[in-house]
Amino acid sequence: MAATPGLEHSRKAFGWAARDKSGVLSPFDFTRRETGEKDVAIKVLFCGICHSDLHNIKSEWGQSVYPLVPGHEIAGEVVEVGSKVEKYKVGDRVGVGCMVNSCRSCNSCDENLENYCSKMVLTYGGKDIDGSITQGGYSDLVVVDEHFVISIPDGLPLEAAAPLLCAGITVYSPLQYFGIGKPGLHVGVVGLGGLGHMAVKFAKAFGSKVTVISTSPNKKKEAIEHLGADTFLVSRNQEELEAAKGSLDGIIDTVSAVHSLVPLIDLLKTGGKLVIVGLPDHPLELPIFPILARKSVAGSCIGGIKETQEMINYAAKYDIQPDIEIIPVDYVNTAMERLLKADVKYRFVIDIGKTLKPSS
């Protein structure tokens, strides 16, 4: 049986993994650690496909270790708990997002910002505390320290909860932290994909006026009539951009391709904030003159565990759910090809519970 890179454990697991930079995923037998005293073992039922999964299986960020089981939008059911676990019991509905450990002692961890801990352990492709390489949620089972497990309220379907654990918190956190998701404020959302459509939904729920900014004119009807955006700008239409200059209090930029920031900065009011949450694979240029009118360009990366739980609770309370396409696990390579073409509305979710079948 193939073992987890780094350190072999004793508990059998099964998933789909990429073996090399081709990014092609195929069935993979590997191992998980046994349930420790503070661990929660989770039967994976659903796992969302994030755009970063596509980058990582192809090692486009230059750091992937193979074999690699991707997936950090995990939703499932607790099947075992360690002797010192206090928050969860067998049968609970839970999720796991982008991280599974951190140092717990630095300033970031003390402030419930484990996502900014320098020793944060990624859910897959990260080096865990025992030296093994973590493997993600395109698999039947995960074992995670209870601190990094998210409780999923009963009213929120597991398949809808899964993408919230990355796409949801990635836009929820900057809307809150930078104070741009409020009644009376006007927020721009750049890109209408997995992240963008959730930014629209959360910003509207917070009471903001929302303008979607996209290169695709054919997304206007969808943005306004289906997602509830107030207005729509075509980013290649200079007349529309000129008319909207200085109109936005903040912008959430979700685009993962290289693009110009200057037209976006020009849309901001004095004191406005452009927050980048997309992850282009090449650096973006930032000229200084456009930001001298007290305009800020910042970044944001997911959220801490406390805030992620708050986000999930908020989504359940106000029925904020991603638009998803549920797929079987053997469709995952086709889904990756479609994701590369932005051919999904708006998040693929793998039905792990019903379609992942062990190789033996």
* pLDDT of res. 280: 84
Element (H, E) at 325: strand 324-327
Instruction: Work out the average pLDDT over 15-35.
Output: 96
pLDDT 10s digits, 239-250:
999 999 999 999
Element (H, E) at 95: strand 93-96
Whole-angstrom distance, CA of residue 201 vs CA of residue 183: 14
Task: Give 225's DSSP letter.
Answer: I
Answer whether residue 18 shows pLDDT above 80. Answer: yes
Answer whether residue 338 shows pLDDT above 80. Answer: yes
Residue 129's alpha-carbon distances to 68, 103, 119, 120, in angstroms, are: 18, 9, 10, 10
For residue 249, the SS3 value is: strand
Contacts of residue 18, defined as CB under 8 A and 6 or more positions apart, other chains included, come to 24, 25, 57, 58, 64, 66, 67, 68, 70
For residue 144, the SS3 value is: strand
Instruction: Compute the mean pLDDT over every residue in the chain, rounded to the nearest whole number.
Output: 95
Instruction: Work out the average pLDDT over 141-151.
Output: 98
Q: Where does the pLDDT of residue 7 fall: very low under 50, low under 70, confident under 90, or very high at 90 and above?
A: very low
Q: Where does the pLDDT of residue 359 fall: very low under 50, low under 70, confident under 90, or very high at 90 and above?
A: low
The residues with which 121 forms a beta bridge, in sequence order, are 101
Answer whether residue 274 shows pLDDT above 90. Answer: yes
Cβ atoms of 311 and 303 within 8 Å: the answer is: yes
Assigned token pair, 135? 């493997």
pTM: 0.94
Element (H, E) at 213: strand 209-214
pLDDT 10s digits, 183-223:
999 999 999 999 999 999 999 999 999 999 999 999 999 99
CB neighbourhood size of 148 (10 A): 20
* pLDDT of res. 4: 47
Cβ atoms of 294 and 139 within 8 Å: the answer is: no
* pLDDT of res. 62: 79
Whole-angstrom distance, CA of residue 91 vs CA of residue 193: 33
Helix and strand numbers, DSSP H then E, in the chain:
11, 17
Cβ atoms of 13 and 139 within 8 Å: the answer is: yes
